[in-house]
Amino acid sequence: MSTVAEQLVHSLKEQGIRYVFGVPSGSWLYYMEAMRKEGLEFVLVSNEASAGFMADVCARLTGIPAVCYGTVGPGATNLSTGVVGALLDRSPMIALTSEPPEKMIGRTVQMAIDQQSLFRPITKWTTRLTAERVDQIFGQAMRIAQAEVPGPVHIGLPEDLGQRPVHPAIPATALPLIRATAPAPAEEAVLERMQGVFARSRKPVIALGLSALRSKAGALVAQIAEKHRIPVVLTPMAKGLISEDHPWYAGVLFHALSDRVAETHRQADLVVAVGYDPVEFNFEDWMPEVPLLHLDTVAADIDRSVYHEVYDIVGNIVESLKRLAAAKPIESAWDQAALKERRDSMFKAMEPPAGSFGPRAALSILREVLPQDGIMACDVGAHTHLIGQMWRTPAPGLQLMTNGCSSMGFGVPAAIAAKLCRPDKKVVCVTGDGSFLMTAGEMAVARRRKLPVVFVVLADESLELIRLKQKKKGFPEYMTALHADECPTAAYVFGVPVIRADDAKEYRAALVKAFATEGPVIVEAHIDASEYAELIQRKHK
């Protein structure tokens, strides 16, 4: 007869899950032992928040819900940061935490809090495992996590449960493979109305979002843009769905130089939102007051007292797009030459000035050195706004960011998870020194597992994005400096070597050396942050 720990771990493995990320506790040892016997890897992290971020990225890259773990109390509260990241970045996840035994629920217990209440608002579902319903609860968790819109599920593990036998004994192979099913097509009448609205427009714009990434709609969108001669804008997390060199590519919303992107979308007489998730950027913050065709698995979240013509095309995104792809070409009034001029001007503004070593130079050189199929994970900060607009992303999954949750500290664990899931790819993390401070402990993970990841730290010694916002509001700079004086460069961080670069030549050499190294390397790039101010603008409408 299997124990609860053995049954749960076997079910994880049968579902194709390879890694569980976390920090162990005493009651978790039964599950760790079961993992050791099953050949399922427990990845020891330095902070449970990183475990959540790593599981999030694993789910994005594999399409399979990933698993993270935290112990009672502080382990669970630390883990919650990564869990809310999966909720707002739409990644399927199984979050496990130890909880007090059933008889101690409601009692005063060391480390214990009401973890069901903690996780209820930041997950799609939260429950407690029982010996009688291991497969039933886990199966339900897998289905809920993957259903549209995907996200995390939390399962509490009573501390006295792992070693208990499963009752009744269920064959270990009883749980079928659980994968997300494609949504049903939208209703025929809705699709016909969509076609009619689209056919009457003369200057529609396509807005690609996070759900389009999950539906793998890029090729179909490119085909529609070419056939009907209409521009395409993207949210940052949809990068890679359409090439920056595509003749109808118009730029990324919200990020650097978004005022130039607005020169296109504010001319639109119709917005065709394809998988557009406002968790990244609300419609109202950029969209002109024109009709909206919203092709998604859920209805549009938009102020309908302002936008009076909202058509919800709820269903399978790809099937809805096929109707537009098959439609007769509209009488497009877009000026393709003017669009190209705006696009070229925008990318020209992203080129680093000669002899400079600011964020533009750092990103441009990295893009040259990193192979085209390499993966770049970035953190949150001023540099993110440049990456969103200027980083050439040849395909989905090659640029990883958080823009729904936007939690600092995401970049380092994201890069580690990317290397675990894609060991054949070159992987780099781009982070600011403020974000790096939050998860620097994960260098120990990269070194312990001998992961050849390059961590580029853009060192400007301040919370630059916050400093810019203070300046914009007319406030004096206050508490954004990260150091009291110049901070010396360390030779190693938790055993990971550091290469310092103070100019573009040193930086390029450091990157080449770092990517040729067998283990992790930190490249500390001391950049001139002054150019951020002229690039990060928010004139969207």
Domains in the chain, ordered, with CATH?
A: 4-158 (3.40.50.970), 188-343 (3.40.50.1220), 350-535 (3.40.50.970)
Measured from the Cβ of residue 1, the count of other Cβ atoms closer than 10 Å reads: 10
d(CA 177, CA 143): 10
Confidence grade of residue 106 (pLDDT, cut at 50, 70, 90): confident
Contacts 24+ apart (CB under 8 A), 484-490: 486/461, 487/461, 489/524
Give 150-183 pLDDT, tens digit per residue. 999 999 999 999 999 997 655 545 688 999 998 9
Is residue 204 scored above 90 in pLDDT? yes
Helices and strands of the chain, counted as H and E runs:
20, 19
Residue 316 pairs in a beta bridge with none
Residue 194 tokens read as 């969509």
Q: Average pLDDT in the 98-102 region?
A: 92
pTM of the model: 0.94
- Confidence (pLDDT) at 205: 98
Q: Where are the beta strands (DSSP E) in 171-279?
A: 204-208, 232-234, 249-252, 270-274
Least confident stretch, 241-245, 445-449, 466-470: 466-470
For residues 116 and 469, the model is more confident at: 116
d(CA 382, CA 402): 13
- Confidence (pLDDT) at 102: 86
- List phi, psi (to 5°) of 307: -100, 105
Measured from the Cβ of residue 113, the count of other Cβ atoms closer than 10 Å reads: 15
Give 7-25 pLDDT, tens digit per residue. 999 999 999 999 999 999 9
